[in-house]
Amino acid sequence: MLATSEALNKLNDNTRQLMATGKIVIILIVVASLLLSIIVMKILIDRRLIARLNKLSDDLAHVAKGHLTEPVLIEGQDEIGLLSRRLRRFWRQMKEVEATNALNLINNTDASLITCHHDGRMETVNPSAATLLGIGHEQSNKPLWLLFSGEANTTLRAQFSPTSPLYLFGQSESIVSMVKQGKPHFLQFNIREYPHKDEHKYIVTITDITRQELSRLELKHLVALKTQDLQEKNQQLNEEIVRREQAQKHLIQTQEELVQAAKMAVVGQAMTSLAHELNQPLSAINTYLYSVKLTLQMEKYDQLPDPIERIEKLCARMNRIITALRNFSKNPHLKSVMFQRRYRAGGKCHGISGIAL
């Protein structure tokens, strides 16, 4: 009985140990299962739920803000995948509506508009531009510059070159001329770059500036004519100034010659008068000298003072005449010589006259 009791106690102890170990194992298994479940759930939720929801939320935000870049398609057959497909369908409808509205706006505007690809090929042409340029449907896919010839063709082709301002700065302006119905027309091309889907395109605004350009050319022509007329008048004025200067020089020379001639004439008249005025006193002196000689021969010495005194007066008068002539010859400018008074020789010699200068 004792052995049996010990065996039962030992079995009881083993059973208790096994139960304790089993509880620990069960607890460990439960904890491991929970951890594994949490890890699996986190991975599944992050990858299959939260990440997809975040991506869908970002796409919705971009579409709501008008950033119509193509949303990424989220795969799956659940509600998130369904929402993604509907969002993609909605995005395509918005793009179609936007393109339709833009096309309607372009077609209904009075401005002449053309959209071009990056290489210059025309994509759309609104009715105003088609009427202005005379474009048919068969020309709508050609390069823009092929609508023109000559210098206009070269100018528009240069706008789409890699070194043009359109490629460098995204915009350019140019003016081309064309002949329409036998009359010159001038068109201004304003080309600007705009993004469209995944590529860059150009919108071309065409403005008919024929009236302004013709007015500018006419004004330029009038300015050129006025400038030429002013230059001709200026040249004529310069020539007239030269002629007047030459005439003035000739007039001064002629005046000097006239002054010299007048001076010589006055001198000639003065010489004539001087010869006449000196001849009379000399004749009188000669007569008085002859009288003095006779008086000396007759020894009538009491009569000598009177003729000698008369001779002295005549000599003094001649000295005054010669002095006046000497002063006149020293004057550098011509002065009018006026014979203000004439003196007659007094005494017995009648007809002898003198001048005072």
Q: Which residue has the higher pLDDT, 49 or 246?
A: 246
From 192, 208, 224, give the residue that closes a domain: 208
The answer to whether residue 79 sits within a structural domain is no
Bridge partners of residue 202, in order along the sequence: 116, 193
30 phi/psi in degrees, rounded to 5? -65, -45
Residue 111 belongs to domain spanning? 98-208
- Is residue 195 in a domain? yes
pLDDT at 287: 85
How much is the pLDDT for 225? 93
Q: What is the CA radius of gyration of the chain?
A: 66
Give tens-digit pLDDT for 6-40. 777 777 777 778 778 878 888 888 888 888 877 77
Domain membership of residue 146 (yes or no) is yes
Give per-residue pLDDT as tens, 200-223: 789 899 988 888 888 988 999 999
- Tens of pLDDT along 121-174? 888 888 888 888 887 766 677 898 888 888 889 999 999 988 888 888 888 999
Q: Report whether pLDDT(260) > 90.
A: no
Q: How confident is the model at residue 238 (pLDDT cuts 50, 70, 90)?
A: very high
Nearest CA to 154 among 146, 165, 162, 142?
146
Residue ranges in the chain assigned as alpha helix (H): 2-45, 51-64, 79-108, 127-133, 151-159, 165-169, 210-298, 305-330
Q: What's the Cα-to-Cα distance from 171 to each of 128, 164, 166, 196, rounded to whole Å?
A: 22, 9, 4, 16
Together in a domain, 267 and 198: no
pLDDT at 335: 44
| DSSP conformational letter for 148 | S
Based on the domain organization, do 192 and 289 belong to the same domain?
no
Q: Is the pLDDT of residue 2 over 70?
A: no
Taking only the tens place, the pLDDT of each residue in 83-104 is 777 777 777 777 766 666 656 6
Six-digit token string for 312: 């002295």
DSSP structure class, residue 345: -
Largest CA distance in the chain: 240
Is 68 among the domain residues? no
- Which of 57-61, 69-73, 193-197, 218-222 is predicted least confidently? 69-73
SS3 1: coil
Q: Within a domain: residue 71?
A: no
Residue 319 resides in a domain: yes
Whole-number Cα distances in Å, 4 to 10, 11, 123, 126: 10, 10, 106, 112
Tell me the average pLDDT across 331-338: 46
Q: Is residue 75 part of a domain?
A: no
Q: What is the pLDDT of residue 233?
A: 93
Which pLDDT score is estimated for 344? 40
Instruction: Establish if 92 belongs to a structural domain.
Output: no
Question: Average pLDDT over the chain, rounded to whole?
Answer: 77
Per-residue pLDDT band for 231 (boundaries 50, 70, 90) equals: very high
Q: What is the pLDDT of residue 23?
A: 80
For 4, 7, 9, 24, 204, the CA distances from 12, given in Å and listed in that order, are: 12, 8, 5, 18, 100
Domain CATH code at residue 196: 3.30.450.20
Paired with 58 in beta bridges are none
Assign 346 a pLDDT band (cuts: 50, 70, 90): very low
Q: Do the Cβ atoms of 95 and 68 come closer than 8 Å?
A: yes
How far, in Å, are 189, 274, 277, 352, 353 from residue 312 at the CA level? Answer: 115, 19, 16, 15, 15
Predicted pLDDT at 318: 82
Domain count, the chain: 2
Q: Would you place residue 230 in the very low, low, confident or very high pLDDT band (cuts 50, 70, 90)? A: very high
**Two structure tokens written together for 221:** 């022509």
202 and 105 co-located in one domain: yes
Integer Cα distance of 99 and 242 in angstroms:
77
CB-CB contact of 90 with 63 (8 Å): yes
- For 184, the token pair is 């010159």
Confidence check: pLDDT of 343 > 50: no
